[in-house]
Amino acid sequence: MTLPVEGCTFAFFGGGQVDELIIDNLIAKYANITYIAVEPAAEELSKFKDLVEYKSDKWCNVTFDFQKITIEKYLEKNGEKQFGMVVVSNSAYHFKHLEDTTMKLYNCLVKGGMLYFTMGDGGWTKLSVKVGEYYCSSNLNFIGIQAIEDIFKRRLPYVKYQTKCREYWIDVTNCFDEESQSGSYKLDFFTQIYKFRETCKPEIKEQLLNYLRDECCKKDSNILLLNANKKDLIILRD
C-alpha cells in the first residue's frame, strides 16, 4: 500500500481495533504520520487513547489528534482538509446523511488517496436491513456495506475499488429460547432494538425471528449459526 502523501490519515472508529493494524502497516512505510481520530463517544475515544499509550514506543513517529465530535461536525469545521487515507470502521451506520457524508469523505482524499470502509455483510446485515423495514431511527442506518457500494456505483460508476470478505459465524440457538437471557441480549444486539423480546409487536417479532432463522442462518446439527461476515471496501481516488 503506497499513499500519495506521507501518512496523513483520517479515522472514524470505535476502540481502535481496526486502526491498530493499519497504523502498524503505515509506520513501516512512512517516517512521520498524522492520525486524526474522530469519535463522538468519550468511552470509545478513551479506549483508543489507552491503546496509543500502550503502543507509544512503537508508534513514536505518529502524531495523534483526538476529536470528540461526530463525523458531520468535523467535516463542517474542516471541509478544506485533504488526506492520503480515510478510515471508516463500522461507522457509516451512524452517518446522519449517509450518501452526502460518504461523498464528502471521498472528496477529502488527495489524488491517489484511499477511502477504506469496513462493515457487516452476510446474514447479520440481511437481518439489519429487514429490521429497517419495520423500524426507523435518526441515529442508526439499518444497512450493510452494499449500501456504500451502491452509492459509488450510482454517483461514481467508474471509480476504482476492491472488496474483501472475512467469514464469521455466531451461535444464535438461544435466541429462539424465550427463557434464555443470553439469547435476549443477543437479539437486542443483532437487531439494535432495546429489549426486543419485550417491546417488539408479536407479529413483527415472529416475522423477524423467522427471517433470522430461515434466511440468515445455517443449521449445524441442532445449532443455528448466524453468518456475521465482515466486508472491507477500498476506494481509490483518481
pLDDT tens, 38-73?
Answer: 988 898 889 899 999 999 999 999 999 999 999 999
pLDDT score for 105: 94
pTM of the model: 0.87
In which band, very low, low, confident or very high, does the pLDDT at 22 lie, cut at 50, 70 and 90? confident
In the predicted model, what is the mean pLDDT of residues 92-114? Answer: 93
Q: What pairing do the DSSP bridges indicate for beta strands 83-89 and 169-171?
A: unpaired
- Residues 73, 34: Cα–Cα separation, whole Å: 20
- Check: CB of residue 228 under 8 Å from CB of residue 106: no
Domain segments of the chain as ranges: 8-120, 169-227
Query: What is the spatial distance between Cα 165 and Cα 127, in angstroms, rounded to a whole number?
Result: 18
Residue 79 has pLDDT above 80, yes or no: no
Query: Which range has the worst mean pLDDT, 24-28, 97-101, 102-106?
Result: 24-28
* Average of per-residue pLDDT values in the chain: 90
In this prediction, residue 31 carries a pLDDT of: 84
pLDDT at residue 154 greater than cutoff 80: yes
Pick from 144, 116, 114, 152: nearest CA to 128: 144
**Interval 161-197: pLDDT, tens:** 999 999 999 999 999 999 999 999 999 999 999 999 9
Residue 12 near residue 38 (C-beta atoms within 8 A): yes
Residue 78: C-alpha distances to residues 3, 143, 191, 196, 232 (Å): 21, 27, 34, 39, 26
What value, to the nearest 5°, has the Cα angle with vertex 137 and ends 132 and 141? 60
Question: Beta-carbon neighbour count of residue 202 at 10 Å?
Answer: 7
What b-and-e string marks burial along 2-34, b requiring 16 or more CB atoms within 10 Å of the CB?
A: ebebebbbbbbbbbbebbbebbeebbeebeebb
Confidence check: pLDDT of 237 > 90:
yes
Confidence (pLDDT) at 1: 47
pLDDT at residue number 168: 94
As a whole number, mean pLDDT of residues 221-231 equals 94
Overall average pLDDT of the 5-28 stretch = 69
Give the percent of the chain with pLDDT over 70: 93
To which CATH superfamily is domain 8-120 assigned?
Answer: Vaccinia Virus protein VP39 (3.40.50.150)
- The residues near 56 (Cβ < 8 Å, ≥ 6 apart) are none
Q: In the prediction, which pLDDT does 12 show?
A: 55
